[in-house]
Amino acid sequence: MAQMILRSAKNGGMVQRRPGMSLNRFSQGFFVLLGLLVLYVLGRAFVQSPKIFVEQVLNGLQLGFIYALIALGYTMVYGIVKLINFAHGDVFMFGAFTSFYTIGTLQLHRWPARVFPAISEGAVVLIGTISVILVSMLFSATLAVVVERFAYKPLRNKPRIAALITAIGVSFFVEYFGALPFAFTNNYITYPRPFEVSVYSGQMISPTLMIGAWVLFGIAFLLLVGFTLAARRGNVQAQTWRRHPVLQFTLLFFGFIAALLTLTGVRIETGGKVWDLSVSNVMLVIMGASILLQVLLQYVVRNTRIGKAMRAAAYDKPVARLMGIDVDGVITTTFALGGGLAGAAGVLYATAFKQVHHLMGIIPGLKAFVAAVIGGIGSIPGAFVGSLIIGQAEVLAAGFISTPMRDAVAFSLLIVVLLVWPQGIFGEPPAEKV
């Protein structure tokens, strides 16, 4: 719902912005020393092995893009109904298992080859993968709507603690119902990927492809600058084009692709060791799908009637009802959108790590919630940025400290952010009437 989703100044009265929590000198000094220590550890790791460090950064980006799709569900639901939907991670798990059955049992990823025998293998992989993601999104959205209809809607006018406890109960129910023998079972199951994994190293990357990615990124960037300048001069049409989904997708996707191809294609020799990175098609699929879905969500929220209704409901539900908006329908749509994104994240997560089990949604769901809080819960850009931060923190901690520290570092970031800047990076300070 973008940043506007939590701009809910109540009726009447002057509103005074309250700054983030102030810290005493000891706490300030502690966090400064902690930040310097982190920079020292990361700098030393980069100097000792730049190749491994950059590879870990790329892995952190891959994980962060998956967390972003989950975090969007948390931030949208909280923006409208002020509910932390702890069952959201289990919708993510349900999406992963849905894709598992569509690939392993129904062979859905190969349907283009059966229907159109003359179609190329590349088209089969592309259409089949998209079909698997769409089916998983549909089933996950359905589960999210069912949970909202039967578990949350009856408690909408009750105290928030009732809905929060119910969310935890629904989460446990979905997890352990999935552990039953006739459901998903309690085994760790190997996930069949919808496509074969390919790894591209510097020797395999064409300079033309790299230059083309930078050119497309540069064109999109110049268009964005031009539309921004025109919008500041009062051009309303330029303001609309500046937020066009094609422009946003081109800017984000080809910017990341150009950076990846450049890092992979660079060949530098330092200390007798050759800098020779590689990137897999799994990472490219995760980045492309995640960016595309987030851009489409931004377009829906900003440029469609249901998006305007979502923003109105987030701003003031009673007034939205007086204006003729079906607030209950808006809330259901919000759960469906968040559930669909979580289902897509489940497919991408299972494709990257090639394993599914009935408890796989707990830790990714909690980390996505932490990412939403760090970025500013209620903000779509905040969920994206917070997810990238959590992804980097988790992977770098596992790579350069120890594997058990990956969760500790990720959740410690939540404590630090709540102490230093409680509203998050893109969040607004809480308002007080005076």
For residue range 23-67, what is the model confidence (pLDDT) as tens digits?
A: 556 666 666 676 677 777 777 776 677 777 778 888 888 899 999
pTM: 0.85
Across the strands, what pairs with 270?
273
Task: Read off the tokens for 120.
Answer: 């190329």
Split at pLDDT 50, 70, 90, the class of 12 is very low
Q: Judge whether residue 259 has pLDDT over 60.
A: yes
Share of the chain above pLDDT 70, in %: 84
d(CA 409, CA 393): 7
Identify the pLDDT of residue 8.
Answer: 37
Across the strands, what pairs with 189?
356
Quote the distance between the C-alpha of residue 124 and its chain's center: 27
The answer to which of 9-13, 144-148, 152-156 has the lowest mean pLDDT is 9-13
Of residues 3, 142, 74, the one with CA closest to residue 338: 74
Say how many Å lie between the first and final Cα of the chain, rounded: 28
Answer with the residue of higher pLDDT: 81 or 95: 95
Mean pLDDT of the chain: 82
Identify the pLDDT of residue 157.
Answer: 81
The answer to which of 99-103, 206-210, 363-367 has the lowest mean pLDDT is 206-210
Q: How far is CA 106 from CA 178, 250, 416, in A?
A: 20, 34, 46
Contact in structure between 397 and 410 (CB atoms under 8 Å): yes
As a whole number, mean pLDDT of residues 365-377 equals 89
Identify the pLDDT of residue 5.
Answer: 44
Would strands 15-17 and 268-270 be described as parallel, antiparallel, or unpaired? unpaired
Share of the chain above pLDDT 90, in %: 23
Of residues 377, 289, 306, the one with CA closest to residue 341: 289
Split at pLDDT 50, 70, 90, the class of 2 is very low
Split at pLDDT 50, 70, 90, the class of 433 is very low
Can you tell me which residue has the tokens 């289902």?
A: 343
Contact in structure between 193 and 133 (CB atoms under 8 Å): no
Long-range contacts of 403-411 (CB under 8 A, 24+ apart): 407/363, 410/367, 410/370, 411/366, 411/367, 411/370
Can you tell me which residue has the tokens 């069952």?
A: 87
| Sequence-distant (≥ 6) Cβ neighbours of residue 218 within 8 angstroms | none
One-character DSSP codes across 283-295: HHHHHHHHHHHHH
Q: Judge whether residue 9 has pLDDT over 70.
A: no
Identify the pLDDT of residue 21.
Answer: 45
Identify the pLDDT of residue 114.
Answer: 86
DSSP-H helix ranges across 49-159: 50-81, 88-104, 111-115, 121-147
- 187-217 pLDDT, tens digit each: 999 999 888 888 777 666 667 777 888 888 8
Provide the residue type at 140 as one letter.
Answer: S
Q: Judge whether residue 6 has pLDDT over 60.
A: no
Maximum distance among all Cα pairs of the chain, rounded to whole angstroms: 72
Of residues 56, 30, 33, 55, the one with CA closest to residue 401: 56
Of residues 135, 179, 136, 75, the one with CA closest to residue 349: 136
